[in-house]
Amino acid sequence: MRPRQWSKNVLVFAAVVFDEKLTHLPSLSRTLVAFVLLCMMSSAVYLMNDLVDVDSDRKHPLKRFRPLPAGELSPALARFAAIVLALAALVAGYLLSPILAIILLIYLFSQISYSFWLKHVVLLDVLLVAAGFVLRVGAGVSVIEEQRFSPWLYVCTGLLALFVVLGKRRHELVLLGEEARNHRTNLGDYTVDLIDRLIGIVTTSGLVAYSLYTFLAEGLPENNLMMLTIPFVLYAIFRYLYLIHVRHLGGAPEDIFLRDRPLQVSMTFFGLVVLAALYFL
């Protein structure tokens, strides 16, 4: 179920924070429930993905230690848990918000398509993974009565997600070398040079999009204090690029965010400035 990767689901809180409803208990409580449901649905997807990839994961130097390829977890139990978690998330999501249930269903079907077919289609695979992060933001919007949330944040989230996903693909290519195609067919269609070029495009686009958001988005304070968050976003991206290119990390983005202290400090200051600009100044 990969509890470490549940950290990705914190994106569901983007709506309640940027819509200035963090102190509104009904909105916050509904968002917390949506977070739990996203964790359930993503866990079902991870189980399903590991069931599909069990043979190829046994050939991977790191993924072979996961419970299914290592033979520590029964495939039958994994299938049962995936079905129960997915159905429970859909039913509870519908009771909370029908739109949330639709988003969860779209996420489930997109990940099923990814696991069985689309992960073998070059470029479309990374776009689909990034779309899952945008759906997480949309899930948060669906459970509150949003008034100030800007669509710019969907764009920023999608570009940031692409940046992280491409970094993961780069790490896989470097780690597996000539064996990359044997692990996943479409990895043979990527090169490190291509991914570096794509990362450059996505990084530039993301920084421009976020900068424009801080100045132009409706609903933000008219004093433009949100622009003060730009340096922290810039440093975080630079730090992540350093970790990818110099430290040769990126294979497990959640581990980077949970372990790298400079990145954590940067994002903490980013969060504090956001809260100060939206709620106190």
pLDDT tens-place string over residues 244-264: 999 888 777 888 888 899 999
Q: Which range is least confidently modeled, 41-45, 94-98, 201-205, 254-258?
A: 254-258
The Cα 28–Cα 21 span in angstroms is 7
Q: Which range is least confidently modeled, 83-87, 168-172, 228-232, 271-275?
A: 168-172
Q: Which helix (H) or strand (E) holds 215?
A: helix 192-216
The Cα 267–Cα 90 span in angstroms is 32
* Residue corresponding to tokens 């990359």: 180
Per-residue pLDDT band for 24 (boundaries 50, 70, 90) equals very high
State whether 15 and 139 are in the same domain.
Answer: yes
State whether 101 and 158 are in the same domain.
Answer: no
Q: What single DSSP character describes residue 280?
A: I
Structure tokens at 17: 């924070």
State whether 168 and 204 are in the same domain.
Answer: yes
The Cα 91–Cα 110 span in angstroms is 18
Number of domains within the chain? 2
Closest CA to 4 of 262, 277, 252: 252
State whether 132 and 173 are in the same domain.
Answer: no
Q: Greater confidence, 133 or 63?
A: 133
Structure tokens at 35: 């977070």
pLDDT at 100: 96
The Cα 116–Cα 135 span in angstroms is 20
State whether 1 and 136 are in the same domain.
Answer: yes
pTM score, whole prediction: 0.88
40: buried, middle or exposed (CB in 10 Å: 19+, 13-18, 0-12)?
A: buried
Closest CA to 257 of 158, 150, 163: 163
State whether 221 and 267 are in the same domain.
Answer: yes
State whether 22 and 140 are in the same domain.
Answer: yes
Give mean pLDDT, residues 102-131: 91
Of 95, 120, 146, which closes a domain? 146
State whether 172 and 203 are in the same domain.
Answer: yes
Q: Which residues contact 70 (CB under 8 A, 6 or more apart)?
A: 64
Helix-strand-coil percent breakdown of the chain, rounded to 5? 80, 0, 20
Residue-wise pLDDT tens digits, 134-167: 999 999 999 999 888 899 999 999 999 999 999 9
CATH number at residue 128: 1.10.357.140
State whether 71 and 120 are in the same domain.
Answer: yes
Structure tokens at 31: 């968002």
Question: What range defines the domain where residue 210 resides?
Answer: 150-281
